[in-house]
Amino acid sequence: MKVVPFLLRVPGGAGSTFPETTPPGASAPAALSLGTSSAPVERHGLASAPWLALCPPGAVEVSSVRGPAVRSLPRGTAVVLTCDGPSSRRLLRRAARRGGLRIERELIVLPSTSRPVVVLDDEESAVRHFWSSYATVPPGMARGSVLASPLLSLARLMPWRWTGALAPGRVLVGSRR
């Protein structure tokens, strides 16, 4: 099954009042499934962990990238690794490699996994769509807009991979080999 790069606005997330949306041309079932499963996961707890909508049902979430937690899981288990902080991309990839995971999807969570507002695939099309269509200076920010507008313009010009490298919130979806 083809996985569609996806941007998800978190309903009820920190500072968000928007419903979740699917990208243009993508059907909801394709965006809500991953791997061999085509059934969407239960919508329980999506305000605090919205990336679960993009994971296979029954996926095991591991928030600590250190320790033997992943290696102790049986083969074929769907695993979701989460991490906040600098170098989260590197930490999660290393944990996946050491834990014997096959990486299926990497997600960027803004501003962090503890207070998610936006979840997007670490794919060029999703990141560029985020910067061109969603990232904007908040209304009513008169004083800060003098600084925020040029920073936003600069962010749009930067290489798309920098968003995933600099964003502290990150989720890696994979399965145990």
What's the pLDDT score for residue 5?
Answer: 55
pLDDT in tens, 109-161: 988 998 898 999 999 999 989 988 888 887 777 677 778 888 888 888 888 88
Please state the φ and ψ torsions of residue 8, each to the nearest 5 degrees: -125, 120
Task: Report pLDDT for 6.
Answer: 52
Mean of the pLDDT values across residues 46-59? 86
Cβ neighbours for 14, distance < 8 A, ≥ 6 positions apart: 111, 115, 116, 117
The first and second tokens of residue 107, run together, are 């997600």
Q: Are 50 and 8 in contact (CB under 8 A)?
A: yes
* 148/52 Cα distance (integer angstroms): 32
For residue 11, is pLDDT > 70?
no
Q: For the chain, what are the domain ranges?
A: 7-123+166-176
Q: Which segment of 17-21, 46-50, 83-87, 138-142 scores lowest on mean pLDDT? A: 17-21
Residue 62, pLDDT > 70, answer yes
* 36 has pLDDT over 70: no
Of 18-22, 59-63, 67-71, 172-176, give the range with the top mean pLDDT: 172-176
Task: Answer whether residue 80 shows pLDDT above 90.
Answer: yes
